[in-house]
Chain A
Amino acid sequence: GQNIDQPTEMTATEGAIVQINCTYQTSGFNGLFWYQQHAGEAPTFLSYNVLDGLEEKGRFSSFLSRSKGYSYLLLKELQMKDSASYLCAVMDSNYQLIWGAGTKLIIKP
């Protein structure tokens, strides 16, 4: 079966760094996406990884290891507005997105 695991909830402090992990087992792999979703709003695209390594985009970075079926999203200099759910999604061999359940990130002052 297809499975994506990420922690249900994480808490971090404003100004700090947090790493959200995602492990996956899917039928085929055509890339891994991270989306941010604020409560009641639509998911917003953050990053895409298809090759191993780190992709950096401002305060956000995403890492992929295909051999380990593992990715993480790194958020630096946390701001209160970063409080949201972070969804990991893998594009499988049929080019369909398989979604993790999401990690709710709570930022405290």
Chain B
Amino acid sequence: DTEVTQTPKHLVMGMTNKKSLKCEQHMGHRAMYWYKQKAKKPPELMFVYSYEKLSINESVPSRFSPECPNSSLLNLHLHALQPEDSALYLCASSQELAGGADTQYFGPGTRLTVL
């Protein structure tokens, strides 16, 4: 089973709202990722967690706040977003962060619209 789940599938929020995206995997993977993808562009890496610790933050604005409560869950807390933050937010997981051949498996994504 290579399933990564994400909720919600769609989210519409105003610029003053606070919301959270959730991601879950039960494959025993120890690395989890958040990507942002705009239409017709490849995914852009935002954050990487390895063994529940933040390993990589790709200079993402503080209005995006990741959290890894345990090895199966990854959240992305959103606050005071801008309309240009509207995108598909993808969660992915892999066995290890620096395992060489470790494939990243993606969840179905959350389509976020900021009004």
Decide whether A and B are members of one complex. yes
Our count of residue pairs bridging A and B at CB distance below 8 angstroms stands at 48
B93 to chain A: closest CB distance in Å?
12
B: contact size bracket: 20 to 34
Q: Are A50 and B100 in contact (CB under 8 A)?
A: yes
A100 contacts which chain B residues (CB < 8 A)? Answer: 42
- The interface residues of chain B, by DSSP majority, are classed as loop
Q: Residue B103 at the A interface, CB < 8 A?
A: yes
Q: Which of B42, B56, B105, B109 contacts A96 (CB 8 A)?
A: B56
Q: Are A48 and B108 in contact (CB under 8 A)?
A: no
A: contact size bracket: 20 to 34
Q: Are B109 and A42 in contact (CB under 8 A)?
A: yes
Give 4 nearest A-B pairs by CB, closest first. Answer: A99-B42, A42-B106, A95-B98, A42-B109
Q: Can you report 24 residue pairs joining A to B where beta carbons are below 8 Å apart? A: A30-B100, A31-B101, A33-B104, A40-B88, A41-B109, A42-B106, A42-B108, A43-B43, A44-B106, A45-B2, A45-B105, A48-B101, A48-B103, A91-B100, A95-B97, A95-B100, A96-B45, A96-B56, A97-B45, A99-B42, A101-B41, A102-B41, A102-B42, A104-B40
